[in-house]
Amino acid sequence: MSLTIAPGEIVGLVGESGSGKSLTAAAIGGLVPYPGVVRAEALRLCGTDIADMSPKELGTSLAMVFQDPMASLNPALRVGGQLAEVAIVHQNASRADAHRRAVDRLGHVHIPEPERRARQHPHELSGGMRQRAVIAMGLMGTPRLIIADEPTTALDVTVQRQILTLLREVPAETGAATLFISHDIAVVGELCDRVVVMYAGRVVEELPVKHLAEGAAHPYTRALVASVPDMDTDRSLPLAGIPGRPPTPAEFTDGCAFAARCPLATDRCADNPPLVDHDGPAHRVACWEAK
């Protein structure tokens, strides 16, 4: 796959489970577990090859937010101490300065009484506060890229909205590029500037979010959009879905991976379609039948 995110831009990466979204995030962040190997012609952050960046540089330039904040926080340590560690390890800050910055960052992500919260352990915070604390941890440095992998999936709807607002505020303030990964195309449509749709490990469509509802050209993207219920959806009918399931890597062929589920498939789809410009370079599609 090929992906570029501009400073301050929020790009949504969508697709069903197993499409390769989280693996892409892990590959960028160097978190693919052994024996996985990441190969890229170019993997650059602000013009520097990520492979050439020291752990300190990468630790302050790249922030990652996961679905479960407890996966990022140590349950045995106080929240403030965990945030302060970022500044102590990556920025050589003194313990006192690091702690002051941790409290400041917790307040910055709208955690009330940040000094008291900094002294607490993760289990004493609500799920939404824990997720904000993880975002605050990312803001201990000066992130140039924020990767948020399903950051709101485990939260209730009200808290979800607060975290989305925060994820909008942070790039606007810091100029950080943001990759927002979600299976929820409705949330992506609200938050992001651009959408990249993945299927079976490949990008199948990339388009500005303002064209998502009416201008999507790939049958898979259109099916994802059509499967989002709204207030007018007839509740007496079954919800719209995409029949079948995505192929596993063992089932990949030389043809279009969506062919078995695609209503527009033809003999031509036995060859994999390339990702090409569609209505200009901002909109790219991999489909022989894209109109």
CB of 287 to ligand SF4, least distance (A): 3
> Of the two residues 149 and 205, which places its CB atom closer to ligand SF4 in the complex?
205
What is the identity of the amino acid at 209? Answer: V
Phi, psi of 207 (to 5 degrees): -155, 160
> Of the two residues 31 and 259, which places its CB atom closer to ligand SF4 in the complex?
259
CB of 258 to ligand SF4, least distance (A): 4
Q: Which residues contact 272 (CB under 8 A, 6 or more apart)?
A: 254, 255, 256, 257, 286
> Of the two residues 15 and 69, which places its CB atom closer to ligand SF4 in the complex?
15
CB of 4 to ligand SF4, least distance (A): 23
> Of the two residues 31 and 242, which places its CB atom closer to ligand SF4 in the complex?
242
Residue pointed to by tokens 């960028």: 28
Terminal-residue alpha carbon distance, the chain: 22
> Of the two residues 52 and 267, which places its CB atom closer to ligand SF4 in the complex?
267
Residue 137 in contact with residue 82, Cβ under 8 Å? yes
Give CA–CA dist 233/215, Å, rounded: 21
Cis peptide before 35 (omega within 30 of 0): yes
Please, where are the H alpha helices in 45-156? 55-61, 79-91, 95-108, 114-118, 127-138
CB of 247 to ligand SF4, least distance (A): 12
Binding region for ligand SF4 (CB under 6 A):
219, 256, 258-259, 262, 264-265, 269, 273, 287-289
Residue 226 in contact with residue 240, Cβ under 8 Å? yes
> Of the two residues 201 and 273, which places its CB atom closer to ligand SF4 in the complex?
273
CB of 199 to ligand SF4, least distance (A): 9
Would you give the distance in Å from CA 125 to the centre of its chain?
A: 24
- Angle of helix 127-138 versus helix 95-108 axis, rounded to 10: 120
CB of 290 to ligand SF4, least distance (A): 7
Give CA–CA dist 79/101, Å, rounded: 13
> Of the two residues 138 and 273, which places its CB atom closer to ligand SF4 in the complex?
273
- Residue (of 45, 66, 65) closest to 54 by Cα position: 45
CB of 85 to ligand SF4, least distance (A): 47
Question: Could you tell me whether strands 202-208 and 284-285 are parallel, antiparallel, or unpaired per DSSP bridges?
Answer: antiparallel
CB of 256 to ligand SF4, least distance (A): 3
